Structure 1
């Protein structure tokens, strides 16, 4: 009996960049659908616009750099960047603001450092932070969730608002916009209201901001699926969420009237998507197992500090960028011991 033989290597090939990015996009779909359900067509329009702009700018910069276009455009990294940036901005954000964010994400944060694999900072978070700092008013014009919204915009109306900045007759931004749960908490606490009074408003559901709790639970499911598929490891997400949860629990137990409960911190903002989809970036984050734990814990700590005492209600993007700067140092001091080498052999 003859057996078929094959040449080495006999190990299964590792996932390509395209394969990894495709899995990340799959994991983003449930949360994106939930955001569209609660906040309308603007979410999908922003995703489509940001993705198209990211891919187009990626191709343009590659051409200017005289690099091959097809391999880098089809690796889907620009698509993931655009998708994440779009999820971070309000659903009716004017198109030109999205364009500014994409320019900083693709050109400044990515290609200025040499392209994929060389960027020090997460491109999507660079684009988002630039927008938050540059256009604070536009970046706070979120819609209320669908169950509380008095006005629902169809797709043609959404396109008219995003591309021509034209609201339907008789409506103003003050009539249709609403603060996010974390923005609302920060504002109300500044007016000396207690957390019990704040949570009694209709903008909060069973455990967190209405709508946001379901959105984050679906992003959590997508993140856990990525861990199951071995696309990411558990180290950074677990360290970030445990640190943020533990600190918020401690301060909530000490002063529950002036500090949100841990489940509000975890499920009312971008902590979940930041933990599983951004802090796990293999390029701008840490690469060693212990380094990922330190990186994630640092993101959780800085996020809590910014949310509690900073000028921004949401601190995940700032925390990730600050820890991006620390990642090379963290990796340098957390390298695992070389196989076959012991402490006693270092001097040999």
Structure 2
């Protein structure tokens, strides 16, 4: 076969590269399905405002992707639903009372700045939704940290309150912390898609069942958070139960949501199994460094962004080590 004939039979595209019957559009549709339980719980806990904010973010992300590609005369890729997934994940990282116009700025940052300017899907250096969230957090700190409480919480009358991680950061005693059962169901203050661990766990099961993601990254990240918290509070002693606080750090904040839906982004996470393990452990370790040693109560987004940037180095190290071992030290 000559070069001309061979060229006509090959197609080179960006990530995700999945050897299944799923294409990018179907993959993103399954991710949206996996996000549905968290979406339902956000409405139960925070009301219809969370649904409206999600719709605004999805529409804005799809519009910015379409508009950028139209202006730049590129192929229109809105139909692959990746922009919709970014919109949902970004919305789920916000409080339900977050102003719409601010959310639209975050959508622009995520789609145009973090994704399209780097070449589009598969070429972004970091998870677009994570970049959008961090920009919003740094730009509109007050609005991004004013958390509505759950509408079904039995013990809270205020409209807004602290998140579980804020309670720890403020030095609350164990008896004043939210119950683990409330955190599992999502009956606490926080970002509207992150608060229900049960809903996120259902999404994780769906993604693993459909082989959309590998369990290595979320499991290693969550396990690292658990182990570090267990050791830290075991050494610290006092009124805190090490096991209780380890579970608290796993269920609280964005640990589970970030591990399942953000850290596993195809373009910004490693490829090989051992690299995924290093990456997941790194995400968990950086999260706990920020939570335990810094003044900021939460560190999941910053940890994932840090490890996104480190992904090429992790891939390079693991691949070189693999080939040296396989071919007897030859480069």
Q: TM-score w.r.t. structure 2 length?
A: 0.85
Once residues 301 and 195 of structure 2 are traced to their aligned partners in structure 1, the CA distance between those partners, rounded to angstroms, is: 21
Aligned to 1:215: 196
Q: CA deviation at 1:176?
A: 2.1
Matched, 1:198 2:171: no
Aligned to 1:240: 221
Equivalent residue in structure 2 for 1:99, among 96, 104, 123: 104
Matched, 1:290 2:295: no
Aligned to 2:38: 31
Equivalent residue in structure 2 for 1:309, among 293, 297, 316: 293
Q: CA deviation at 1:74?
A: 0.4
Aligned to 2:252: 268
Once residues 150 and 129 of structure 1 are traced to their aligned partners in structure 2, the CA distance between those partners, rounded to angstroms, is: 31
Aligned to 2:85: 80
Q: TM-score w.r.t. structure 1 length?
A: 0.81
Aligned residues: 303
Deviation track 1:293-343 (CA, whole Å, cap 9, x = no partner) reads: 1111000001111111223212110000000110001001112746x9531
Once residues 311 and 99 of structure 1 are traced to their aligned partners in structure 2, the CA distance between those partners, rounded to angstroms, is: 28
Deviation track 1:82-108 (CA, whole Å, cap 9, x = no partner) reads: 000000101011111101111110111
Q: CA deviation at 1:144?
A: 0.9
Once residues 311 and 207 of structure 2 are traced to their aligned partners in structure 1, the CA distance between those partners, rounded to angstroms, is: 22
Aligned to 2:167: 184
Closer, same or farther: CA 216–151 of 1 in aligned 2, 3 Å: closer
Once residues 337 and 310 of structure 1 are traced to their aligned partners in structure 2, the CA distance between those partners, rounded to angstroms, is: 36
- 8 Å Cα contact 1:150/1:176 also seen in 2: no
Q: CA deviation at 1:25?
A: 0.6
- 8 Å Cα contact 1:185/1:198 also seen in 2: no
Q: CA deviation at 1:38?
A: 1.0
Aligned to 1:142: 147
Once residues 70 and 258 of structure 2 are traced to their aligned partners in structure 1, the CA distance between those partners, rounded to angstroms, is: 32
Closer, same or farther: CA 18–304 of 1 in aligned 2, 3 Å: same
Q: CA deviation at 1:148?
A: 3.5
- Please tell me whether Structure 1 or Structure 2 has the larger radius of gyration of its CA atoms: 1
Which structure 1 segments of 5+ residues have no match? 1-11, 153-174
- CA RMSD across the alignment: 2.5
1:90 aligned counterpart, secondary structure: coil
Q: CA deviation at 1:149?
A: 7.7
- 8 Å Cα contact 2:149/2:187 also seen in 1: no
- 8 Å Cα contact 2:195/2:252 also seen in 1: no
Greater than 6 Å deviation, 4+ residue runs: 149-152
Aligned to 2:327: 342
- 8 Å Cα contact 1:51/1:78 also seen in 2: yes
Alignment of 1:252-263 (within 5 A): 252-256=233-237, 257=239, 261-263=245-247
Once residues 198 and 243 of structure 1 are traced to their aligned partners in structure 2, the CA distance between those partners, rounded to angstroms, is: 26
